[in-house]
Amino acid sequence: MSDLGPQPGNVLGMLRQLARKRSAAERCEMCSRELFFEHEHLVEPATHKLICACGACAILFDGQAGTKYKRVPRTVRFLQYFEMPDSQWESLAVPIEMAFFFKSSPHGRVIALYPSPAGAIESLLPLDTWDDITEANPVLKSMDADVVALLANRVGAARGTRPAEYYLVPIDECYKLVGLIRTHWRGLSGGTEVWRELAEFFGGLKKRARPHGEVAHA
């Protein structure tokens, strides 16, 4: 029997499926160009809002002062020699063992946020404590305001399973982490799925990261 190919009903279904896929594709919020899965982001410092952008649009905001948006960089750095004793972490008043910190140019200060099932929650950050952390870790002086954050993962250290990890990351990675926890958290302890997702997230960061060889107090 010869192959007659897809029947009309099947063709119509395939076209509808293709249309749904195309409509669901992310697009540049500047020029509406269709984006790849991995694409650039811009941040609006006044609101912390992230928008998706193509490379051509993102580069227009690279290093530009006084613009509404800033281009989010792509580099991840693993801070191998970062110093933060438990007493210093406790003084930050962060109720969990994971948080990110970034310099907000509109507010003129460092903002501390931690992920939760309800989203990102701000923790009031004592400025003298941040000054002490920066003095012990001069690499923090290189953080670009609004677009780069210090990401601290001390969950393993608190459980006694692995050392604390510290990264300088693009700010969109922090909000990706927040979204991951909001999506996968179940019950009081989070459930096995969210911890698996967290392990994959930080494993991916570690794999991408460029190690920072600066020894503290150098």
Residue type, 155: V
Q: What is the mean pLDDT of the chain?
A: 86
Q: Are residues 5 and 46 in the same domain?
A: yes
State pLDDT tens for residues 128-153.
Answer: 889 999 999 999 999 999 999 999 99
Q: Among the residues of the chain, which ranges form H helices?
A: 8-24, 55-58, 86-91, 127-136, 155-159, 171-184, 191-208
Average of per-residue pLDDT across 24-42 = 91
Q: Are residues 87 and 186 in the same domain?
A: yes
d(CA 102, CA 110): 5
Residue 81 has pLDDT above 90, yes or no: yes
Q: How confident is residue 161, by pLDDT bands cut at 50, 70 and 90?
A: confident
In this structure, of 23-27, 139-143, 153-157, 202-206, the range with the lowest mean pLDDT score is: 23-27
Tell me if 136 is assigned to some domain. yes
Q: Are residues 86 and 161 in the same domain?
A: yes
Residue 213 pLDDT: 55
d(CA 195, CA 180): 10
Tell me if 218 is assigned to some domain. no
Q: pTM, whole model, 2 decimals?
A: 0.83
